[in-house]
């Protein structure tokens, strides 16, 4: 097997980042719509705009600043993406998940993914957090599709990826305990992802619920698939910014995310604190 072009590009991008920051992160975090202010928790941070990093593209969606922030949280070295790339923006799945490859090259061993999501489970309220225990990919594609050219040539991957335990059970437990101790409403659930950028019809919401989805978004799952292909542990959390089908506008989604950023700060910082005492 040989390394494909994406792997070579990821190494080049990682080498560029390493020259900008001395910290070697062990944890990567991807921040969803309106959640970018979480980076204020990072100490001694180095900020690199995406447009300075080789092969990164610009973010075009409100609530996604477009910067990589490297530093420490509770003395744990982290690399935080202040915004992500979306399939609905016209990017390929390779572009959408390229930052995960770069984070792997930087040395991370686990990835935290966050997003703003519509609540499908009738028990969920706006402002709740959902710790992701599983997902349903309804985007019609995935980042490993078409990796095989004259045989499966990317030496970073096994030919077939086991997604049985995509979300690390230890991290899920840490998340539940942290939320409970902090008095933050958080339940575990199943995340569905659609292509977007359209919101779901009432009939589609009913379908998603019957399929077993508790919340729906337009991102995240491709990043998780890539992370698992790269043998990274994953923790995922969704902020329920609206009831699916109700008060639908991206402006409202971002506003609700920004309103709940302090709770996300407490939740993720608490998990990170506990991670330091365990083996990442």
In the annotation, is 121 catalytic? no
In a domain? residue 259? yes
CATH number for position 200: 3.40.50.1580
In the annotation, is 135 catalytic? no
Task: Identify the domain containing residue 59 by its residue range.
Answer: 5-275
In a domain? residue 280? no
pLDDT value of position 2: 44
In a domain? residue 122? yes
**In 28-164, which ranges are continuous DSSP H helix?**
93-106
pTM: 0.92
Catalytic residue among 81, 139, 193, 218: 218
In a domain? residue 137? yes
Catalytic residue among 4, 89, 204, 252: 89
**In 29-125, which ranges are continuous DSSP H helix?**
93-106
Catalytic residue among 88, 91, 176, 207: 88
Strand ranges in 83-210 using DSSP code E only, listed in sequence order: 110-119, 129-138, 186-194
Catalytic residue among 10, 14, 21, 64: 64
Rounded CA-CA distance 258/261 in Å is: 5
Contact between 164 and 135 under an 8 Å Cβ cutoff? The reply is: no
Distance of CA 253 to the CA centre of its chain: 17
In a domain? residue 88? yes
In the annotation, is 33 catalytic? yes
Rounded CA-CA distance 226/157 in Å is: 9
Q: Could you give the number of structural domains in the chain?
A: 1
In a domain? residue 65? yes
In a domain? residue 201? yes
Catalytic residue among 219, 238, 257, 260: 219
In the annotation, is 1 catalytic? no
Contact between 271 and 175 under an 8 Å Cβ cutoff? The reply is: yes
Contact between 102 and 72 under an 8 Å Cβ cutoff? The reply is: no
In the annotation, is 256 catalytic? no
Catalytic residue among 10, 14, 21, 33: 33
Name 122's Cβ contacts closer than 8 Å, sequence gap at least 6: none
In the annotation, is 180 catalytic? no
Task: Render each residue's pLDDT in the chain as its tens digit; 280 residues.
Answer: 345 778 889 999 999 999 999 999 999 999 987 777 888 889 999 999 999 999 998 887 665 678 999 999 988 999 999 989 999 999 999 999 999 999 999 999 999 999 989 999 999 998 999 999 999 999 999 998 876 544 445 666 666 899 999 999 999 999 999 999 999 999 999 999 999 899 899 999 999 999 999 999 999 999 999 999 999 999 999 999 888 766 566 677 677 677 777 888 889 988 888 876 666 6
In the annotation, is 250 catalytic? yes
| Tokens, residue 42 | 């990072």
Rounded CA-CA distance 93/225 in Å is: 11
String of b and e for 130-150 (b: at least 16 CB within 10 Å)? Answer: bbbbbbbbbbeebbbeebeee
In a domain? residue 184? yes
Indicate the Cα dihedral angle 216, 220, 221, 222, nearest 10°: 140
Catalytic residue among 41, 238, 242, 260: 242
Rounded CA-CA distance 100/96 in Å is: 9
107 closest CA partner among 232, 236, 19 = 232
Catalytic residue among 41, 86, 192, 200: 86
């Amino acid at each position: 097997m040989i390394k494909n072009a994406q792997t070579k590009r990821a190494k080049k991008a990682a080498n560029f980042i390493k020259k900008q920051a001395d910290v070697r992160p062990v944890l990567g975090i991807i921040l969803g719509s309106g959640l970018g202010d979480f980076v204020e928790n990072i100490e001694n941070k180095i900020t690199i705009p995406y447009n300075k990093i080789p092969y990164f593209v610009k973010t075009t969606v409100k609530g996604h600043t477009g910067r990589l922030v490297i530093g420490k949280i509770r003395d744990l070295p982290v690399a935080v993406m202040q915004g992500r790339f979306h399939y609905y923006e016209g990017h390929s799945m390779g572009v959408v998940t390229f930052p995960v490859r770069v984070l792997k090259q930087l040395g991370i061993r686990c990835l935290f993914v966050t997003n703003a999501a519509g609540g499908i489970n009738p028990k969920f309220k706006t402002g709740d957090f959902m710790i992701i225990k599983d997902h349903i990919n309804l985007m019609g594609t995935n980042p490993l599709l078409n990796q095989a050219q004259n045989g499966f040539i990317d030496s970073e991957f096994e030919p077939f990826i086991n997604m049985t335990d995509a979300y690390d059970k230890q991290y899920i437990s840490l998340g539940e305990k942290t939320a409970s101790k902090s008095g933050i409403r958080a339940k575990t659930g199943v995340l569905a992802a659609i292509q977007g950028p359209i919101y779901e019809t009432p009939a589609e919401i009913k379908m998603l619920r019957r399929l077993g989805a508790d919340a729906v978004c337009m991102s995240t799952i491709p990043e998780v698939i890539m992370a698992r292909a790269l043998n990274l542990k994953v923790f995922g959390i969704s902020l329920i910014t609206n009831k699916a089908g109700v008060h639908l506008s991206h402006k409202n989604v971002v506003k609700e995310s920004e309103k709940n950023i302090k709770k996300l700060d407490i939740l993720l910082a608490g998990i990170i604190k506990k991670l330091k005492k365990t083996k990442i």
